[in-house]
Structures are given as structure tokens and as C-alpha cells.
Amino acid sequence: MRPFLDLKALMARDEPALNAAFARVLHSGWYVLGPEVEAFEHEFAQLCGVDHVVGVGNGLDALTLILRAYRQLGRLAPGAEVILPGNTFIATALAVSEAGLVPVLVEPQESDFAISVAAVEAAITPRTGAVIAVHLYGRLADMSGLRQVTQCHDLLLIEDSAQAHGARDEHGRVAGSLGDAAGFSFFPVKNLGALGDGGAVATNDGVLAEQVRKLRSYGSSEKYIHDVKGVNSRLDELQAALLRVRLSRLGEDAEQRRAIADRYLQGISNPAITLPSQPSLPLSHVWHLFVVSCAQRHDLQAHLQRRGIPTLIHYPVPIHRQAAYSELSNLSLPVAEGMAAQVLSLPLYPGMPEDYVAAVIDACNDFPPDEIREGPCR
């Protein structure tokens, strides 16, 4: 079986530079929050086009600390509602709960699985304090549409950019700079992945950045002086040093992802398989995942598996159908539920061998296979 994502090969491309970064940290004698983290924060801020980046322990913490900081700064009331799409990874909702706020799930739009601006507007109540836009699968959400709504209602607009490092809008503005603050994840499988956990907050708001800086380190900006009740969510020097190496490839990697996505979009022509829509602006999608939908998903997945092609489902159970969110179990989100039942992610990664791409296309076009298509029961 081929890999869904060949992380080992991805990392091997940079082995000498990663080893050098490792040796540099090893010999520095300083391992948590230091010069490598500062340098990475600076470099990633430049990439995102923001004034401040704060490295934290992971993507969930990045989002949680943004919300906690806004609460402490008086920008969000305790128990305020935060609107987010129902079809995201559960971390988006967990961050809201962790910060003592109330997640309000809304429908995505069917055309591109992105949070629906109309659904956001319809969900606004006097208690709403913020909206989290998720750039799902690497495609920018409609940030100008969302911005209009949040401005009109005086709400914070936060980006969950965990899947969209480097995605650009029509003005060349980059994910992480399109709202009031953004959370990033550097979990290894993300487009910019560390060799362990990592995350970051990006923002142009210096006051927010300072508050997150305190929060990540026990609520302290001066050693042993604690202004607020913080947490321990620091970025390691080692991960920061490795991320600096990986950062240098981000643009090139996105190009490779786009080229493979184009091959799939051109090559897969099976009426049983609905392809993701091509974004009108190619740079606005960094193809973290290539997600198709299929009414016979189970059969398609089994068929691809028999052809040696692994697939994954992002995500099989919507948040409001998870035991962890039993309080939302009465919610009905038919679009999000339909997606959960039909989506399937095909392999796509930088450096994916051409014959593998071709094999995925062929196998998709051969579905259902002849023996099933012509069988007496179909």
C-alpha cells in the first residue's frame, strides 16, 4: 500500500538542513522559547504579512489563547457565543469551550464546503461575540463577506488557519492577516509541519499579541510575576528551528500541491464522484486536502483500497453528533451531515510520484469496477 501522505519522504528532502538545525539547538544549551522561536516568529509574521506572531504549543492552544486573551481584554463577555462552521475539525469548537465561551455551529455552503456567510448572519444574537472562519482543506473562506457581517455587528473575526498556511486572497493578503487574529497549527501533517507539535497566533493587534505571549507562559511577562492565570503552551527551540527549514519550502510545496490538484481536476471524470470546485483564484487554495464526495463512499473507498490507494475521511462525524458535544445533539445541520456521510480525501502531497497520481485518477475513473457495474444485482 502506498502512503496517504509520505511524511518521511517530505522530511528527507531537507535532511541536511534539518540535521544542521537540530545540531544548532543541541549545542545552544537553550531548548524552550529562545532565539530560534523569535526568529521563526519573525519569519512567519513576514510570510503572513502581520505585525505579530506568537509561537505556542499547538493549533488548539493558538485558538484557545486568542479567545482567552480577548476575554481578559474585555473584548468577549464570559459565556459569549462564537459562531463556527459545523463541518470542521473538533479543535475549532474545543477552543471555544476551553475559553469558557459557547460554540454555535452553522452550515457550510454546498459549493465549496466553506462556512456560509448567510448562515453566519442568521445565527447572530445579542450574545454573539465572535466568528471563527475555517479555511477548510486549505481554501480561503469568504473573508470579505464575513468581514462585512462582523463589522456591521461589531464582532471579532478569527481565522482558523490550521490548514491554509500561505493561501492568498485577490489582494495578495495571506491567511493569518485576514481577520482580527488567526490560529495556526504545525502538526506534522499540516502544510507547514514540525517534527512534533507546534502552533502560532498571528495578528496585527499588538495588545492581543502581548496578552497571548503572557498566557502561553503562566500569565507572566516578567519571571515569577503573574498578571493573569496563564497556561504552559510554549514552542520548543527545536521545533522552531526545524520549522524555519520547512518554511523555506512552503511556496514551492503549495505549487506542487496545486499541480497535483489540477491533474485530478482534469483527469477524474466519473459522474459518480463530485470533485471539489476549482477556486476562481488559484492562490487562494493551498490544497491541504483534496476532498471529493460520492454517494457510494464506502464502496469507492473499498475499491481504491483494493487498488492500493489509501484514503481518509475529513471528517466522518460532525461535531454536533459527537458524544463530547451531546448538548448540541438536537441540532440539525443537513449540509454538514451530508458532507460527513459523503466526503473522501484522496492522497495529495508535494513530491507525490507521477505514476501514483495517474494510478489514483485511473482507479477513480474505473469506479464502479466492471464486475460490479455489470453484475446482476446492480
Ligand X SMILES: *Cc1c(COP(=O)(O)O)cnc(C)c1O
Which residues are designated catalytic?
Answer: 190
Closest C-alpha among 130, 115, 145, 104 to residue 336: 115
Closest CA to 113 of 131, 138, 80, 76: 138
Interface ranges with ligand X (CB under 6 A): 58-60, 88-89, 91-92, 134, 160, 162-163, 185, 187, 197, 199
| CB closer to ligand X, 291 vs 300 | 291
**Distant-in-sequence, close-in-space partners of 365: CB < 8 Å, separation ≥ 6:** 267, 268, 269, 270
Residue nearest to ligand X (CB): 59
Residue 199 or 273 with smaller CB distance to ligand X: 199
Q: How far is the CB of 362 from ligand X (least distance, A)?
A: 30
Give the count of beta carbons closer than 10 Å to the beta carbon of residue 198. 31
Minimum Å gap between C-beta 88 and ligand X is 5
Name which of 139 and 303 has its Cβ closer to ligand X: 139
For 119, phi and psi rounded to 5 degrees? -65, -35
51 and 206 Cβ atoms separated by less than 8 Å:
yes
Distance CA 308, CA 285 (A): 27
- Give me the least distance between CB of 29 and ligand X, in Å please: 27
Rounded Cα distance, 284 and 277, in Å:
12
> What does the alpha-carbon distance between residue 145 and residue 186 come to, in Å, rounded to a whole number?
27
Q: Phi-psi region for residue 247, left (φ > 0), alpha (ψ -120 to 50) or beta? A: alpha
What is the nearest approach in angstroms of ligand X to the Cβ of residue 92? 5
Q: CB 60 → ligand X: shortest distance, Å?
A: 4
Q: Which is nearer to ligand X, 193 or 347 (CB)?
A: 193
Instruction: Please give the angle made by the CA atoms of 185, 191 and 192, to the nearest 5 degrees.
Output: 60
The dihedral over CA atoms of 75, 77, 83, 87, expressed in degrees to the nearest 10, equals: 100
Residue 60 or 235 having the CB closest to ligand X? 60
CB 281, min distance to ligand X, A: 21
Pick between residue 197 and residue 253 the one whose CB is nearest to ligand X: 197
State in angstroms the smallest separation of the CB of 160 from ligand X: 5
Residue type, 291: V
| Bond before 137 cis per omega within 30 degrees | no
Q: Which residue has the cell 455552503?
A: 109
Closer Cβ to ligand X, 178 or 300, answer by number:
178
Asked if residues 21 and 140 have their Cβ atoms less than 8 Å apart, the reply is no
CB neighbour burial string for 290-299, b if at least 16 within 10 angstroms, e if fewer? bbbbbeebee
Q: Classify 327 as helix, strand or coil.
A: helix
